[in-house]
Chains A and B, each alone.
Chain A
């Protein structure tokens, strides 16, 4: 860490260093790019993995917070902050050429706070439409429906991206055409069976071959982050389930850990184990569903039904204990909502061999199929460099050779106590991602096996204060959700509601690489790649 501090001070002498939960550096906007380049390239720091980028309205100024880590050592984390005091016309330099993650994230910040990033190639609104008035995450935003009434008239989409660059005389606005004049542009989405929800790809085609994809999100942008600012922590919990509803339990787990750590609440061992078991069950359901939908996208409908059929077994287990099927609402701050159902252990134990059996069936049914193999091998290759640059994690990142399993790197809950393999493949194609998921189901079963008989006795939930206030500060928690790294960032001002709450969604990273890896592939491959990426749209849009 010392070396890093020196490096920071050498490149940006005016930077302010603070030791909080993580090392935090505050720099002036002018120094940002130099510092970022140095941090990324210097062998001592090598912060090449930008986890997320958050814009915050701090009251008098806007700040942007960059969380970064290094693929050499994922536990090495750094927080860089920069700010602008201009509320009328805020501008900041872009880092999108340094980290690919910034491409979409900066667009998000622009939409939320109106900060323009100079040099960013595509400064359009990400989630909201061009006709939206105001910037929702500003504290003085008028959230009433009168300002932005529901409008059902269709409107044309702009074919231009906008960019602001530093010219001779100040900042200039430029328009760039997205597609060439005679491109055959196919609109895939927002309502399309293969986009797994409401994502919109504008795809330029040359015959069957994809030339370019323009990703449009926001068709399910529900404003969760803004809503959270007005709610207490226990109330916010229920939003987490509805972000990435396929790893509902894991997301909720992340927020619970974050709040518990900040408020200094100790949970019992029993809770930890229960949460871990539930996490793994959720992971299995999620991977099953993604296997099923991927097969369906490729045209094998029966496989889809098989995946759903086996998923129902876990749904039963969930329903007995938590009362919910898809969305369990089970974690609460300080523990879990209710104790395990008496049948829980028996059912999980019966489930493990059942699932192993079915995994074999899946391999027989699909993995060995000539058509399937030919459609997956070598298709949509995501190189390790791209994966790192765009901060792709989870099964997809691991299929590209990036070892990024947070359960191994920074064990939380009961993960430190169990033994499991991190599945890493190096091909980076659809096949690797596909196999990774199936293998991870196997590993999850292995974890379940170890824990199911070792649930300690004790309270399932500790008593907490009726109103939870977090001490002033910033808290960040990362967990491994089914699609990759899920993060919660809370900025608290000592209130019972957060000042700013941001979720780092794994799916956003997955979608941001779509353009890169789909170029040159066929339309049918787009569907396969989409299925193998397995993004969940509400998780992107929040």
Chain B
């Protein structure tokens, strides 16, 4: 059997320092100025949203345990405002898909996502949620939850270390901070 030459290109460490790229884009876009009222309102709303992300308690397998660790004493995501894990999808803001999603679970995940109230975000935690991970060749594993629901942040690892998940969650906060709330719909109509 011919062994393929596999090259894995890791992300260079410096890139982790470049976390503000989203903010920079927005600054560029706003160079021509934004409406004072809407701009300030936007900022305020985004500040509120990004600092208060309540995750849904959703864990299917191994990654779920690491998710629990993140909530526990040492890592404590409450520091960032991820305080309350809600058990009812209606009250949650972000769903952390921690673990493998298999065919039988797929409709349920979709339904949970549909039941969540806007604005809702998705973090795919672990290689299973990203691509199927170790089970990607299996007959009944969904190869990535992005096939079912839109994902905002991917956190790779099997399982990702709690620090990695925290980083992912903070990335999500950054993403939320540059969103636009006011007149979003009007812009869409203009197009």
Contact = CB atoms under 8 A, between A and B. Distances in A.
B137 interface: yes
Contacts, number: 131
B64 interface: yes
A367 to B, nearest CB: 21
Interface in B136-189: 137-142, 147-148, 158-159, 161
A128 B110 CA distance: 18
A299 interface: no
Contacts of B103: 128-129, 148, 150-151
Contacts of A306: 73
Interface string A217-235: 0111111101100100000
Contacts of A311: 69
A308 B103 CA distance: 31
B62 A191 contact: no
Give chain A's interface residue range (CB within 8 Å of chain B).
35 or more
Given A191-B58, A219-B108, A220-B60, A308 B69 contact: yes
A309 B171 CA distance: 26
Interface in A294-330: 304-306, 308-309, 311-312, 315, 325-327
Interface in B1-60: 57-60
B100 A222 contact: yes
Nearest to A315: B69
Contacts of A537: 60-61
Contacts of B139: 136, 141, 143, 145, 148, 223, 226
Nearest to B113: A152
Interface stretch (A61-69, A84-92, A239-247, A337-345): A239-247
Given A219-B104, A221-B104, A245-B62, A312 B112 contact: no
B107 A327 contact: no
B60 A227 contact: no
Interface SS of chain A: loop
A327 B159 CA distance: 7
A325 B60 CA distance: 18
Contacts of A191: 58, 89, 108, 112
Interface string A168-193: 00000000000000000000001111
Interface string A185-206: 0000011110001100000000
B104 A129 contact: yes
A197 B74 contact: no
A406 B34 CA distance: 71
A227 B138 contact: yes
Contact of B74 (A153, A245, A309): A309
B105 interface: yes
B159 A326 contact: yes
A364 interface: no
B96 to A, nearest CB: 12
A496 B58 CA distance: 38
A411 B68 CA distance: 34
B135 A222 contact: yes
A150 B62 contact: no
B140 A325 contact: no
Contacts of B107: 151-155
A240 to B, nearest CB: 11
A220 B64 contact: no
B138 A242 contact: no
Given A150-B142, A221-B140, A538 B108 contact: no
B117 interface: no
B110 A220 contact: no
A469 interface: no
A154 B111 contact: yes
Contacts of A261: none
A289 interface: yes
Contact of A326 (B57, B62, B148): B62
Nearest to A153: B107
Nearest to B133: A242
A48 B41 CA distance: 71
Most chain B beta-carbon neighbours within 10 Å: one of A128, A145, A222, A238: A222
Given A226-B138, A227-B137, A245-B61, A312 B73 contact: yes
Contacts of A245: 61-62, 65
Contacts of A238: 134
Most chain A beta-carbon neighbours within 10 Å: one of B57, B58, B65, B99: B65
Given A289-B65, A309-B72, A327-B62, A150 B106 contact: yes
B60 A309 contact: no
B66 interface: yes
Contacts of B65: 245-246, 289, 326
A225 to B, nearest CB: 10
Most chain A beta-carbon neighbours within 10 Å: one of B60, B89, B103, B106: B103
Interface in B66-100: 66, 68-69, 72-74, 87, 89, 99-100
B140 A190 contact: no
Contacts of B74: 308-309, 312
Contacts of B102: 218-222
Contacts of A145: 139
A129 B139 CA distance: 13
Contacts of A148: 103, 139-140
Contacts of A151: 103, 106-107
B140 A220 contact: no
Given A145-B139, A151-B103, A242-B134, 19 more contacts: A150-B103, A150-B106, A218-B104, A219-B102, A219-B104, A220-B99, A220-B102, A224-B135, A226-B138, A227-B137, A230-B137, A239-B134, A308-B74, A312-B69, A325-B66, A325-B69, A325-B161, A537-B61, A538-B99
Interface of B: 57-62, 64-66, 68-69, 72-74, 87, 89, 99-100, 102-112, 134-135, 137-142, 147-148, 158-159, 161
Cβ-closest 7 pairs across A and B:
A308-B72, A245-B62, A223-B138, A309-B73, A152-B110, A143-B139, A538-B61
Interface of A: 127-129, 132, 136, 141, 143, 145, 148, 150-155, 190-193, 197-198, 218-224, 226-227, 230, 238-239, 242, 245-246, 289, 304-306, 308-309, 311-312, 315, 325-327, 537-538
17 contacts: A148-B139, A155-B107, A197-B61, A198-B105, A218-B102, A219-B102, A220-B99, A221-B140, A222-B100, A222-B102, A227-B138, A289-B65, A306-B73, A309-B73, A312-B69, A326-B66, A538-B60
